[in-house]
Structure 1
Amino acid sequence: MSPVDPASVATLLARETAAYADAHPLCRAGYDAATNLFGHVPMTWMNMWAGGFPLQLDRASGNRVTCLDGVELLDFALGDTGAMAGHAPPATVRAVARRMGELGGVTAMLPTPDAQWVGAELERRFGLPRWSFTLSATDANRWAVRLARLVTGRPKVLVFGHCYHGTVDETFAVPGPGGTTVTRPGNVAPPVPVSETTYAVPWNDLSAVEAALTHGDVAAILTEPALTNIGIVLPDEGFHKGLRELASRFGVLLMIDETHTFSAGWGGATRAWGLEPDILVIGKSIGGGIPCGAYGLRSSVADAVLARTQSGEADIVDVGGVGGTLAGNALSTAAMRATLGEVLTEEAFTRMVALGTRYAEGVQAVIDDLDLPWSVGQVGARAEYRFTRPAPHTGEDSAAAADEDLDACLHVALANRGVLMTPFHNMALMCPTTTADDVDRHLAVLREVAAALV
Structure 2
Amino acid sequence: MNRIERPGASEGGVSLSRISELAETEAEIFRRARPKSAAALGNGMAGFFGGVPMHWMNDWPTPFPILVDKANGATITDIDGNRLADFCLGDTGSMFGHSPAPVARAIRRQASRGLTYMLPSEDSLKLGLLLAERFGLPHWQIATTATDANRFALRVARAVTGRDKILVFNGCYHGAVDETMVRLKDGKPVNRPGLAGEFRDLTARTRIVEFNDLPALEAALAHGDVACVITEPVLTNSCMVLPEPGFLEGMRKLTRKAGTLLLIDETHTISTGPGGYTKKHGLEPDLFVLGKPVAGGVPASVWGMSEEVAARYANYNRTKQPGYSGMGTTLSANPLQFAAMRAALEEVMTEENYAHMEKLAERLASGLDKAIHKYKLPWHVMRVGARVEFICAPGPLRNGGEAETAHASRLEAAVHVAMVNRGVLIAPFHNMMLVSPGTTARQVDRLVAAFDDIAATLSA
TM, length-normalised to structure 1 = 0.96
- Equivalent position to 1:250, from 253, 258, 261: 258
State the 1:207 CA deviation: 1.1
Q: What amino acid does structure 2 have at the position aligned with 1:257? A: D
The 1-side partners of 2:442 and 2:184 are apart by 42
Aligned to 1:145: 154
Tell me the equivalent position of 2:368.
363
Distance in structure 1 (CA, Å) of the matches to 2:303 and 2:251: 20
- For residues 314 and 83 of structure 1, do their structure 2 counterparts lie closer, same or farther at Cα, with a shift above 3 Å needed? farther
Match of 1:16 in 2: 26
Preserved CA contact (<8 Å) 2:44 2:50: no
Match of 1:382 among 382, 387, 398: 387
Equivalent residue in structure 1 for 2:214, among 206, 218, 223:
206
Aligned residue for 2:203?
A: 195
Matched, 1:435 2:440: yes
Q: Which residue is 1:175 aligned to?
A: 184
Give the CA deviation at 1:97.
0.6
- SS of 1:50 mapped into structure 2: coil
Cα distance in structure 2, aligned partners of 1:370 and 1:312: 63
The AA in structure 2 aligned to 1:388 is: A
Work out the CA distance in 2 between the residues paired with 1:116 and 1:5.
58
Q: Could you say what secondary structure the match of 2:168 adopts?
A: strand
The reply on whether 1:122 has 2:131 as its aligned counterpart is: yes
Match of 2:271 among 245, 249, 263: 263
- The secondary structure found in structure 2 opposite 1:181 is strand
Residues 353-397 of structure 1 show CA distances to partners (whole Å, capped at 9, x for unaligned) of 111111111111111111110011100000101111122111111
Q: Provide the residue aligned with 2:3 in structure 1.
A: none
Counterpart of 1:65 in structure 2 is 76
**C-alpha deviation, 1:35, in angstroms:** 2.7
Gaps of 5+ in 2: 1-11
Matched, 1:4 2:9: no
Q: Deviations over 1:390-439 (max 9, x none)?
A: 22111111110111111111110010111001011200001111112211
CA distance in structure 1 between the partners assigned to 2:243 and 2:302 by the alignment = 24
Correspondence for 2:311: 303
For 1:287-325, what per-residue CA distance to the aligned partner results, in whole angstroms no more than 9, with x for missing partners?
Answer: 01100000000011011111111113465xxx1111111
User: Any idea what SS the aligned residue of 1:365 has?
Assistant: helix
2:296 to 285, 288, 291: 288
Q: Report the Cα distance in structure 2 between the residues aligned to 1:314 and 1:298, rounded to whole angstroms.
A: 24
- More displaced stretch, 437-446 vs 181-190: 181-190
1:226, CA displacement in angstroms?
A: 0.3
Q: 2:116 aligns to what SS in structure 1?
A: coil
1:100 aligned to which of 108, 111, 115? 111
Counterparts of 1:120 and 1:66, CA distance in 2: 38
Kept in 1: contact 2:239–2:406 (CA 8 A): no
- Tell me how far apart the structure 2 counterparts of residues 130 and 438 of structure 1 sit (CA, whole Å): 40
Equivalent in the alignment of 1:44: 55
CA contact (8 A) 1:159 1:223 kept: yes
SS of the counterpart of 1:377? strand
Identity in percent: 45
Partner SS state of residue 14, structure 2: coil
Residue 417 of structure 1 aligns with an amino acid whose one-letter code is: R
Question: Could you tell me how far apart the structure 2 residues matched to 1:307 and 1:30 are?
Answer: 56
Q: Distance in 2 between matches of 1:285 and 1:54?
A: 23
Q: 1:46 to 1:314 in 2, by over 3 A?
A: farther
The counterpart of 1:185, out of the listed 169, 193, 217, is 193
Taking only aligned residues, the RMSD between alpha carbons, in angstroms, comes to 1.4
Q: In structure 1, how many angstroms separate the alpha carbons of the residues matched to 2:174 and 2:322?
A: 25
Match in the other structure for 1:26: 36
C-alpha distance in structure 2 between counterparts of 1:220 and 1:33, whole Å: 42
Aligned residues of 1:220 and 1:253 also touching (Cα < 8 A): yes
Please give the secondary structure, in 1, of the residue aligned with 2:166: strand
> Distance between the aligned counterparts of 2:310 and 2:196, measured in 1?
33
Cα drift, residue 33 of structure 1: 4.8
Cα deviation, residue 191, structure 1: 4.3
- SS, match of residue 109 in structure 1: coil
Note if contact 1:308-1:314 (Cα within 8 Å) is conserved in structure 2.
Answer: no
What's the CA shift string for 1:233-272, capped at 9, x where partnerless? 1000000001100110000000000000000101000011
Alpha-carbon shift at residue 164 of structure 1 (Å): 2.1
Matching residue of 1:220: 228
Shift of 1:80: 0.6
1:56 partner amino acid: L
| Contact preservation (8 Å) 1:173, 1:181 | yes
2:377 alignment partner, one of 372, 378, 381: 372
TM value normalised by structure 2 = 0.95
Give the distance between the partners of 2:37 and 2:224, measured in 1 at CA: 54
Match of residue 326 from structure 1 = 331
CA contact (8 A) 1:386 1:398 kept: no
Contact 2:239 2:407 in 1 (8 A): no
Write out per-residue CA displacement over residues 108-151 of structure 1, whole angstroms, 9 at most, x where no aligned residue.
00011322322222222211010000001011001100010001
1:165 positional shift = 3.3
